[in-house]
A and B are shown apart, each in its own frame.
Chain A
């Protein structure tokens, strides 16, 4: 049986603990260089503003300011335009991978803010597109040289958490093929040609995260709260791991007991330990917290 045709079973996950072995099993080259690199800490910026979530509305201007401050801090570049120029070239074709899940979509104001800043960095308007479910048919995404990845964090029926890692599942034609073992192999999508090496920035929306889901729709207003945050990083694993810690803390606080995310979001740690995409452990994350500190949960 060739490596390419090798069937992956639970026993493989039990017996393997290294990305080298799993990479071989999957018929995929081991990710040699994650966006943050495995040999150094990943920088993650958590920015919050107590006023950005105003009842059921968002304060768009505050959201833009949060984005600018987070990106500037992440890249050590006070000038927003220069900061974005570190991320993209004027010649880039940029897909903004958003998320349209109707109960909790990526805010339109954030999508627009990202688009505006890409233009500020010199990217041509016709070379920018915002999309979610249509990306496989979208000519900008098909020809993209760069991707900006953004979505709200939420609990998820199949993967435990809807994460930045999971946001790329629309790049594959059979998303359900990744559902095994709580979507543990999601990081392998990041190694596929439409995605590999293209992600310049990850923005995890923590404005009103969903920390628990019930029912067919997996949504209830009861389980969102106005956290008022954004998590920004070039390392999607580190950003997701940071968001996951906040969600877990919120669940414990809300339920008054240790209430693990269910199913466990294995794909985050697997993206680190098995697939080498980034850093998931706090000691390897340089977390910079700015802005509103109340009920930070991390």
Chain B
């Protein structure tokens, strides 16, 4: 909708375009001028908020977090210069692994190095993922290690701590493992988490995973085919039409001696979900029966089921019965 007062929608120019006085007499003049000023003020505030909501606001937020990071932890001192990477420059920092962060829409990464004369360097990387969903998602990409109480979920293994909180995914590792370095890594993790006052919520789609037999540590949240293919290779092409607009959860199930992998995908609308289901059946399960179920070449079962805009795909199940059980709720 066009601004009724100022044709120029640039918030800064909006303030200027209202400056020339409009000659209206008497009371009406006062009222209109007052309303004009109010309207300009609204436009200005809206514009400023719009600017703040843009990606650059994340830079400020990450910058805020940076100021809360400790300059020293357990004898390790922060090097003078932090480094900031964006979606393009991140490849120069972490090479091919950067694709993981891009697949989760990483906005920025702040890297800080802590050093100590008689200890290994400790590397702190804070990834601003832009949303709690994606911070959680990138955390679930690698769930090895023991759980530890830092942030909203954390894992610690071999000198590497990873956790997520709010829209941040945090990685801290010591270049060599020593007892004191491990303690410092954990202490630094707690300090970073303490500097993030907000908490995020886990992706809604996780609540739709059937509870019975769910191996909670196996849950992955994703919306990019490259991540799906990493955890479960499906196809060289994006036959499920995964995109930034889709939300997907991948999980393993164990019921008795039988196991299965289930993928749930929430599409923007029912039509998109139906098209994706049809494409999947055509290209991956052309031999599916009327219930959308087929036996794979390795003897396992695969199936797809659609409910509104939610597509449930059993990627593999040890038996037809198990596949049916998983899809029963959809």
Interface residues of A, Cβ cutoff 8 Å to B = 7-11, 13-15, 101-102, 156-158, 175-177, 179-182, 184-185, 212, 214-218, 220-222, 263
Contacts and interface: CB of A to CB of B under 8 A. Distances in A.
Nearest to A185: B236
Given A216-B94, A221-B175, 5 more contacts: A158-B99, A179-B99, A184-B233, A218-B94, A222-B176
Contacts of B162: 215
B173 A214 contact: yes
B252 to A, nearest CB: 16
Interface in B212-235: 226, 229-230, 232-235
Nearest to B175: A221
B229 A216 contact: no
B189 interface: no
Interface stretch (B46-54, B153-161, B199-207): B153-161
Given A176-B99, A216-B97, A220-B176, A9 B235 contact: yes
B39 interface: no
B297 to A, nearest CB: 4
A177 B220 CA distance: 22
B235 A180 contact: yes
Contacts of B284: 9, 11
B171 interface: yes
A125 to B, nearest CB: 30
Contacts of B283: 7, 9
B6 interface: no
A8 B96 CA distance: 23
Nearest to A158: B96
Contacts of B128: none
A140 to B, nearest CB: 24
Contacts of A176: 99, 226
Contact of A8 (B98, B99, B175, B235): B235
Given A9-B234, A14-B296, A220-B176, A214 B99 contact: no
Contacts of A11: 284, 296-297
Contacts of A217: 94-95, 97, 123, 173
A48 B97 CA distance: 31
Q: How many of chain B's residues touch chain A, expressed as a range?
A: 35 or more
B97 A218 contact: yes
A215 B127 CA distance: 13
A222 B182 CA distance: 13
A156 B100 CA distance: 13
B19 interface: no
B81 interface: no
B301 interface: no
A179 B297 contact: no
Contacts of A10: 232-235
B232 to A, nearest CB: 8
Interface in B275-330: 283-284, 296-298
A221 B160 contact: no
Interface in B28-68: none
B101 interface: yes
B134 interface: no
Contact of B237 (A7, A184, A218): A7
B157 A177 contact: no
A14 B297 CA distance: 6
B89 to A, nearest CB: 14
Contacts of B98: 216
Contacts of A7: 235-237, 239, 283
